[in-house]
Amino acid sequence: MNATSTASARNTSYLARPGGRIGYDTAGDGPLVVLVPGMGDLRAGYRFLAPALREAGFRVASTDLRGHGDSDATFTSHGDEDTADDVIALIEELAGPAVIVGNSMGAGAAVLAAARQPGLVSGLVLVGPFVRDPAVSAVQRVLLRAAMARPWAAISWKSYLPKLYAGRRPADFAEYRDQIAASLRRPGYARAFSLTTRTSHAAAAARLADVTAPALVVMGEQDPDFPDPRAEADWIARALHAQVVMVPEAGHYPQSQRHDITSPAIAGFLETAHRRA
């Protein structure tokens, strides 16, 4: 069995794509919401948000990235543009339109999907979003790729995750971190993860002005991936004419670190977005 939770593994469906299959699950009734995780994460990263949205009256689809979780590790390309294509195909499969919730690099993919297929995307929720490339030196990029290389990817990522969960951690953090590490230890998955670390967000940045769907930016106040999380959230909000929710005591994963704040904020936005659609 894969490293996702037993419940999600039992309910996994598969979307056939060129090069492999995308694992996902769906539950609930109502307007469609698609949850997209970030690099190195599992769709179980939405284990708190997904049930809250179902209870609020939405049909929720949670998907794994290529080479992550229940998706195949046979894909030869990874990144924002590939993920956007997969998300568009999933929304079509599930007879959208949908609001896309994207965390980290999943946010960049969500922006591209909304720009490419505005009729399929009724709203965006961007959580800890990477929608442009961070200002890092060539040396820093090389060091990151070396640290996340295939032979030690699982160990490196497991060691790094506590930093990304700056602030309050969910009660099941240790167990969930073990699930992620176990997932990366399967044949082919460390390679896929390492390739995903090379993702550029330039394509998403170039299409921000083409997004017409309403958007919400959710950012942890302590997100270590951004020198100034509030400034990054405000920059994205200006580009997309979006609302901003800053989440205290949260780093890169506010949907699980402070789901008491994040889930109601996202559910409220979804109600508004679907009324406009």
Residue 153: its pLDDT value, please? 81
* pLDDT level of residue 149 (50, 70, 90 thresholds): low
Specify the range with the lowest mean pLDDT, choosing from 10-19, 100-109, 212-221.
10-19
Residue 275: its pLDDT value, please? 72
Residue 154: its pLDDT value, please? 87
Tokens of 121: 């995307």
CA separation, residue 161 to residues 36, 101, 116, 118 (Å): 18, 21, 32, 34
* No. of helices (H) and no. of strands (E), the chain: 12, 8
Residue 150: its pLDDT value, please? 58
* pLDDT level of residue 7 (50, 70, 90 thresholds): very low
Q: How confident is the model over 17-24, as a mean pLDDT?
A: 97
Q: Does an H or E element contain 217, and which?
A: strand 215-220
235 CB-near residues (< 8 Å, 6+ apart): none
* pLDDT level of residue 115 (50, 70, 90 thresholds): very high
pTM for this predicted structure: 0.92
> 232 and 185 in contact (C-beta within 8 Å)?
no
What does the angle CA 167 – CA 38 – CA 205 come to, to the nearest 5 degrees? 105
Q: Does an H or E element contain 239, and which?
A: helix 229-240
Mean per-residue pLDDT of the chain: 91
User: Which comes out higher in pLDDT, residue 6 or 128?
Assistant: 128
| pLDDT 10s digits, 170-217 | 999 999 999 999 999 999 999 999 999 888 999 999 999 999 999 999
Q: How far apart, in whole angstroms, are the C-alpha atoms of residue 67 and residue 27? A: 23
Q: Is the pLDDT of residue 157 over 60?
A: yes
Residue 141: its pLDDT value, please? 54
Residue 139: its pLDDT value, please? 47
Torsion angles phi and psi, residue 127, rounded to 5? -110, 120
Tokens of 92: 């079509």
| pLDDT 10s digits, 34-86 | 999 999 999 999 999 999 999 999 999 999 999 999 999 999 999 999 999 99
For 175, counting Cβ atoms within 10 Å of its Cβ (0-12 exposed, 13-18 middle, 19+ buried), the class is: exposed
CA separation, residue 63 to residues 44, 128, 133, 194 (Å): 9, 17, 24, 19
Domains of the chain: 6-276 (3.40.50.1820)
